[in-house]
Chains A and B, each alone.
Chain A
């Protein structure tokens, strides 16, 4: 496996080996490359900053569901380190081409495309796909490079270098519906002059394990463990929209800009409604689709319009809650169109939903006005002045509009599990070096109690960080299967990693990420939830956030 070092200023590509004696992928690869080639102090969009695309340690191997792709660099949204991962087919294909990671430096004055095959890589002109929506741009790229490619592409948001901008990743059907979404990774890529990375693995092959027998055995165990996982049936049947009833019932679904944790119209947007509408319109529930090759869980939900035509996939809980309940909108068709618009322009749905929610405080959007919300999202994609403010993310928009009630941590909007009623999970918003991120370490025990949450959050984040190095999807529920993780890695790359080493990897990566942030000027005091969440009770449970700050300040003592 190799690392491609791409210099956009000079138009040169160098192939360098993965450092001897190190096991790197996903999150660990990003912090390693940032320390090696990047800068903690440079502006995120300057030529001195770098953009990284990397698979996990197990990406492109026979390990099921281990092909998440990570995009990263220094975030223009948070000013700190950023790793944002997604499913899709790019990491699988990169691994099959023998490429562990791509690090992009410098800056091209013209838009370029990077093409990667098993035989080499090259920089090409982008052609006329600039300014196009993502679905059409991917169609064009397939006409040019063939049908069987994987694509990582920035939309208009990334082209305009907005702080809310994604790197869209094609799913196995070639749709750019999976996104490395958070923290403005699209802008980091766009600042390099890189419009898309196209991966053709036609001449590639599945990664060959160093210890074939041991790896095969571990893979078998892994598939069984996923299928017997606590949540396999629910995700396969409903996908993440199962969380709508669940989070709503426990008062933790952001509604009308975090003014309630339950939405009185949730029955119009929950999993049963999505499935009933889909069935009526297309004959199937829209569930059970794989977002990446080799997936066992297959949880990605699709949505169809009144004529039975596909609108969007990856129609996840977060998207529906943030663009629906958080805006007081219960029209599933409108929510699905907004989800599609985010995919087309390359916007993070969480940041977008949070930002649009804030506009209510500025008198720019009435809750429940779906047509207005859609129009504002379109403006963001078109880059009008108001659109650019919206595309700059919740914290920046609030700054411009004079709003102090902002649901964000370290510059990044809080996702759709309310901190005040998910007090352990909130540690992943507060302490995580990436800013508020629900995928950094879920905690569901005693969600209303302030007791023991720092410890739970720490444990969960360490395991999740380690998992985010492997390329595994979190819905494998393998985060606690540390022995199996070590077995898989050892089988594939021939290391002698113990369970303890694996957990230590998670700890080390978190600390390296935090060290990067401190060098970037994000100090210890940044680990806090907005003050208003400690004062303003969240109906209907009327909970405030009450985990003592002194305990939170102890988070990093491990």
Chain B
């Protein structure tokens, strides 16, 4: 299945391990992939992020399906 993954630029600059592209990318993923698997592939399991899945708030347990849009934002402050 194809999933569109967006990664915020700050996240890329400050936290994301080298070798991964920021911005928007379409990924080919096996069925039953969860959001946490994507975060693991990106090396972001320990990084505080907020997730948007198809316009709703996503969480790490959400199962991805074909055509999903997953946006990953770093959290630097908030309230």
Nearest A residue to B73 by beta-carbon distance? Answer: A234
A36 to B64, CA, bound (A): 60
- Would you call B48 and A250 a contact (CB within 8 A)? yes
Other A-B pairs beyond A271-B57, A272-B56, A272-B57, 14, CB < 8 Å: A231-B8, A231-B50, A231-B76, A233-B52, A238-B57, A245-B51, A246-B49, A249-B60, A250-B48, A442-B79, A444-B77, A447-B48, A460-B77, A477-B77
- Residue numbers in A under 8 Å from B74 (CB-CB): 230-231, 444
A243 to B56, CA, bound (A): 13
Given A245-B57, A249-B60: A477 touches B50 (CB 8 Å cut-off): no
- Residue numbers in A under 8 Å from B76 (CB-CB): 230-231, 442, 444, 477
- Would you call A234 and B50 a contact (CB within 8 A)? yes
Interface SS of chain A:
helix
**B39 → chain A closest CB, angstroms:** 11
- Would you call A246 and B52 a contact (CB within 8 A)? no
Interface size on A, residues (CB 8 A): 37
B 15-52 binary contact with A (CB < 8 Å = 1; else 0): 00000000000000000000000000000000011111
- Would you call B52 and A230 a contact (CB within 8 A)? no
User: Which residues of chain B have a CB within 8 Å of any CB of chain A?
Assistant: 8-11, 48-52, 55-57, 59-60, 71, 73-79
**A83 → chain B closest CB, angstroms:** 16
**A468 → chain B closest CB, angstroms:** 13
Nearest B residue to A250 by beta-carbon distance? Answer: B48
**B63 → chain A closest CB, angstroms:** 15
| A:108-128 near B, CB below 8 Å | none
**Inter-chain contact total with CB atoms closer than 8 Å:** 76
A270 to B57, CA, bound (A): 9
| A:260-288 near B, CB below 8 Å | 270-272, 275
Whether A347 sits at the interface, judged by CB under 8 Å, is no
| A:306-340 near B, CB below 8 Å | 316-318
- Residue numbers in B under 8 Å from A169 (CB-CB): none
- Would you call B78 and A243 a contact (CB within 8 A)? yes
| A:239-253 near B, CB below 8 Å | 240, 242-243, 245-246, 249-250
- Residue numbers in A under 8 Å from B51 (CB-CB): 245
- Residue numbers in B under 8 Å from A460 (CB-CB): 77
Interface SS of chain B:
mixed
**A395 → chain B closest CB, angstroms:** 21
A75 to B64, CA, bound (A): 50
A447 to B79, CA, bound (A): 16
Given A230-B10, A270-B57: A442 touches B52 (CB 8 Å cut-off): no
Nearest A residue to B6 by beta-carbon distance? Answer: A233
- Would you call B57 and A231 a contact (CB within 8 A)? no
| A:434-464 near B, CB below 8 Å | 438-439, 441-444, 447, 460, 464
Nearest B residue to A243 by beta-carbon distance? Answer: B78
- Would you call B48 and A231 a contact (CB within 8 A)? no
**B16 → chain A closest CB, angstroms:** 12
Whether A415 sits at the interface, judged by CB under 8 Å, is yes
- Residue numbers in B under 8 Å from A479 (CB-CB): 77
- Checking B9, B60, B75 against A444 with a beta-carbon cut-off of 8 angstroms, the contacting residue is B75
Given A230-B9, A230-B73: A237 touches B79 (CB 8 Å cut-off): no
- Residue numbers in A under 8 Å from B49 (CB-CB): 246
- Would you call A438 and B79 a contact (CB within 8 A)? yes
- Would you call B48 and A318 a contact (CB within 8 A)? no
**A376 → chain B closest CB, angstroms:** 25
- Residue numbers in B under 8 Å from A238 (CB-CB): 57
- Would you call B59 and A415 a contact (CB within 8 A)? no
Nearest A residue to B75 by beta-carbon distance? Answer: A444
**A84 → chain B closest CB, angstroms:** 13
- Residue numbers in A under 8 Å from B50 (CB-CB): 231, 234, 242-243, 245-246
Select the residue from B48, B51, B56, B60 with max chain A CB neighbours within 10 A. B48
- Would you call A242 and B79 a contact (CB within 8 A)? no
A147 to B24, CA, bound (A): 46
Q: List 9 A-B contacts (CB under 8 A).
A: A231-B73, A243-B50, A243-B78, A243-B79, A246-B49, A275-B56, A439-B79, A442-B76, A444-B74
